[in-house]
Amino acid sequence: MNPDTKGLIRLEEKIGHTFKDRHLLIAALTHKSFTNENPGLERENNERLEFIGDAVLSMVISNHLYKKYPELNEGALSKVRANLVNESSLATIAMKMGLGKYLFLGKGEEGTGGRDKGSLLSDALEAVIAGIYLDSGIRHVTQVILNHFRDLIEMVVSQKHPFDFKTTFQELCQEHFGILPDYKLTQTSGPDHNRLFVMDLSVKGKVLGVGSGRSKKEAQQQAARQALEEFKKKFKKPVSSYTRSRKNKTMRGTLENKPKP
């Protein structure tokens, strides 16, 4: 069921921006399948906004990386940026916002799990970014983008195996817990040619990450990335600096002492 346009205040709170022109937000959330099925509404879909949002996001991320990480050369900067502005990363952030709940979709997209599709979510997030830029300018949209991307940026720059979250987490898991993480396929949706897989990552029965993707491998990578973010929150330091310490033992004890379900 499509959302009520009057009920978008909660989404604005999650985004961190209250639109002066609410029509920009509504357009950003409107997929072309909805406008095709509802021509009488004369509503713009999010494709044109997506075009602007892609450019704004790339510029903001590039500027931030250039200023904050002077030790990275052009090649490294390009690789980090590519990992941050791809469909998978954008879809993950959109899921954290709960963006899928607020999309306006046609019946066909609704019936094939469109609210969980990475392509639709990433496009909508880019459109929302464009909407914020048009609504309030580059300074404010920069603040909103970095609020949502900052942790991911730091993790991608600092991890031991750049862009391979699964290997990085596997090594941490072996070091701190002495076992390998478990991955479990929890959901499959969409037609055969456009499947969406959802994977849970757990350690000793405790789910530490959930990821989605167009392949099981991609979903595992995203689950591992979320688990790495949880490590960072627990220890308050970059993934690359993890060493054996009392804090590590505390984390181990938290998992070992947790009752099994």
Q: Which residues are identified as catalytic?
A: 54, 126
What H or E segment, with its residue span, contains residue 201?
strand 196-203
Nearest to 226 by CA among 207, 249, 240: 207
Q: Name the maximum alpha-carbon separation found in the chain.
A: 63
The rounded Cα 201 to chain-centroid distance in angstroms is 16
CA atoms of 117 and 195, how far apart (whole Å):
9
CA atoms of 248 and 108, how far apart (whole Å):
48
DSSP state of 17: -
Q: Residue 87 in contact with residue 122, Cβ under 8 Å?
A: yes
DSSP state of 186: E
**Helices and strands counted in the chain (H then E):** 12, 3
> Encoding tokens for residue 202?
């757990």
